[in-house]
Amino acid sequence: MRSADLIRAVRDKQAILPAELAAFVQGIARGDVPDYQASAFLMAVFFNGLSDELTAAMTLAMRDSGRVIDLTSVPGLKVDKHSTGGVGDKISLPLAPLVAACGVPVPMVSGRGLGHTGGTLDKLESIPGFRVDLSLTRFVELVQTLGLCLIGQTADLAPADKKLYALRDVTSTVESIPLITSSILSKKLAEGIDALVLDVKVGRGAFMKTEEHARALAQSLVRVGTQAGVKMRALITDMDQPLGKTIGNSLEVRESIEILRGHGPEDTTELTMALGAEMLILGGVAKDSIEARAQLGNAMRSGAGLAKFRAIIEAQHGDPTVVDHPEKLPSTEHKSAVLAKMAGVITDIDPYVLGTSAMRLGAGRAKAEDRVDHAVGIVLVKKVGDIVERGEPMAYVHHRGGGIIERELKTIEAGMVIGASAKAARPLVVDVISG
């Protein structure tokens, strides 16, 4: 089928065959389809959507545009987790070693932070020496020997997604469920996994602002992933306040170590357990959530999760002593308190406001090429529902000094609202979508 005919068919909601769409995507990956036709196709999908069958065909063609990692030499079911991104979301750091310590291999290819959301790779790189650019051969070796490895996307993993994502970014076609589904799943399926647990965030700090949209995305990901032969589970989770008590790279590593020690904040600990339980069930080492949570709890109490974290840090060239001496992580000289202007209850902490403030302080990137400062960020003393006295610190900002700080302190103060009583918060785990 000619490219122009395929674009017209999608534009006019007429039937095309999965094989025709796959050939078109292969043409984009090879550079045979020009950007103007790829862009027209993306806009047609944006307005008219794609059936699950066609989304699956597109996903597999994108996956197969590069290398697909073969993990069949690793015994057991390989399970990864993917989050659609939020503020203070450091869950991959404690989760991957904890799940690996329970006997489920975790091959994890993660991303960097952009805009108000952070990225796992930036957090890991705040550990002195830690490298996320290992070869795929070493990646497979570490999954074989340690049961986990955490790297960044290489140029040969789903290159069609890289091309299409760059076009979506400049043609305003990012917010499309079939396009997001194929983008996320093509990269994850290239890891050679057997099962995937998704954390689809909903709220002001998330990509999906409403439960309706988050549910539609989660259902699409689960349906298409299942069609592609992967066991899928999606948790829809709250992103209407920052997750945990830290925003910023090395600060989030510190919190991750606390979670692994069993002393983490309630919400990050609970989300680690909830996602970990699904991973153990899909990985075939626990029959239900009760058994899975018991295993995860044992791995926390015995120190097995922490030992796995030390081992993977060392294997990826980082300094494993940071686990016992977090003071070795990058830190700032300056810390300023955000003080409560009145007594009351914290009724709201806007994750978008705090996430963008942390980004401007240097913890994140406004543009993909920006450099990140691993030491700066925000530590929350109070969360929604906590009582504050007038003049009490609600948060501390870790910064480098300079003129920006006064404005950011005001911004963060405005993002933390004090009132008479907090409205009932959405539960942390809003829903679970199964295949």
The active-site residue, picked from 89, 161, 267, 350, is 161
Query: Do 41 and 10 meet the contact criterion of CB atoms below 8 Å apart?
Result: yes
The active-site residue, picked from 63, 78, 81, 82, is 82
Nearer to ligand URA, 151 or 184 (CB): 184
Q: Shortest distance, CB of residue 178 to ligand URA, whole angstroms?
A: 10
* The three-state (H, E, C) secondary structure of 24-41, written as one string: HHHHHHHCCCCHHHHHHH
Helix (H) or strand (E) holding 301: helix 289-301
State the Cα–Cα distance between residues 279 and 166, nearest whole angstrom: 31
- 233 DSSP β-pair partners: 197, 434
Q: Shortest distance, CB of residue 379 to ligand URA, whole angstroms?
A: 28
Question: Is 51 among the catalytic positions?
Answer: no
Q: Shortest distance, CB of residue 308 to ligand URA, whole angstroms?
A: 26
CB atoms closer than 10 angstroms to residue 198 = 27
- 388 DSSP β-pair partners: 344
Question: Which residue's Cβ has the minimum distance to ligand URA?
Answer: 183
The active-site residue, picked from 187, 233, 245, 398, is 187
**Burial of residue 335, with CB atoms counted within 10 A of its CB: 0-12 exposed, 13-18 middle, 19 or more buried:** exposed
Q: Shortest distance, CB of residue 176 to ligand URA, whole angstroms?
A: 8
Question: Is 32 among the catalytic positions?
Answer: no
**Rounded to the nearest 10 degrees, how much is the dihedral formed by the CA atoms of 50, 54, 59, 63?**
-150
Question: Is 168 among the catalytic positions?
Answer: yes
Binding residues for ligand URA (CB under 6 A): 174, 179-180, 183-184
Question: Is 317 among the catalytic positions?
Answer: no
The conformation of residue 22, written as its DSSP 8-state character, comes to: H
The active-site residue, picked from 92, 182, 183, 357, is 183
Nearer to ligand URA, 218 or 388 (CB): 218
What's the Cα-to-Cα distance from 279 to each of 73, 100, 290, 391, 395, rounded to whole Å? 20, 10, 13, 44, 33
Nearer to ligand URA, 188 or 245 (CB): 188
Q: Shortest distance, CB of residue 182 to ligand URA, whole angstroms?
A: 8
State the Cα–Cα distance between residues 76 and 79, nearest whole angstrom: 9
Query: Do 301 and 262 meet the contact criterion of CB atoms below 8 Å apart?
Result: yes
Q: Shortest distance, CB of residue 69 to ligand URA, whole angstroms?
A: 17
The beta-strand segments (E) located in 331-415 are 334-339, 344-349, 377-380, 387-388, 393-399
Nearer to ligand URA, 174 or 422 (CB): 174
State the Cα–Cα distance between residues 194 and 180, nearest whole angstrom: 20
Nearer to ligand URA, 19 or 366 (CB): 366
Nearer to ligand URA, 119 or 264 (CB): 119
- 273-285: buried (b, 16+ CB within 10 Å) or exposed (e) per residue? bbbbbbbbbbbeb
Tell me the three state secondary structure of residue 220.
helix
Question: Is 161 among the catalytic positions?
Answer: yes
Nearer to ligand URA, 174 or 337 (CB): 174
Residue whose entry in the numeric block shows the structure tokens 């830190």: 331
Query: Do 144 and 21 meet the contact criterion of CB atoms below 8 Å apart?
Result: no
What's the Cα-to-Cα distance from 180 to each of 128, 155, 170, 224, 301, rounded to whole Å? 33, 19, 15, 11, 38
Residue whose entry in the numeric block shows the structure tokens 């003129």: 403
Query: Do 178 and 52 meet the contact criterion of CB atoms below 8 Å apart?
Result: no
Q: Shortest distance, CB of residue 152 to ligand URA, whole angstroms?
A: 13
Nearer to ligand URA, 140 or 180 (CB): 180
Q: Shortest distance, CB of residue 304 to ligand URA, whole angstroms?
A: 31
Catalytically active residues are 82, 161, 168, 183, 187
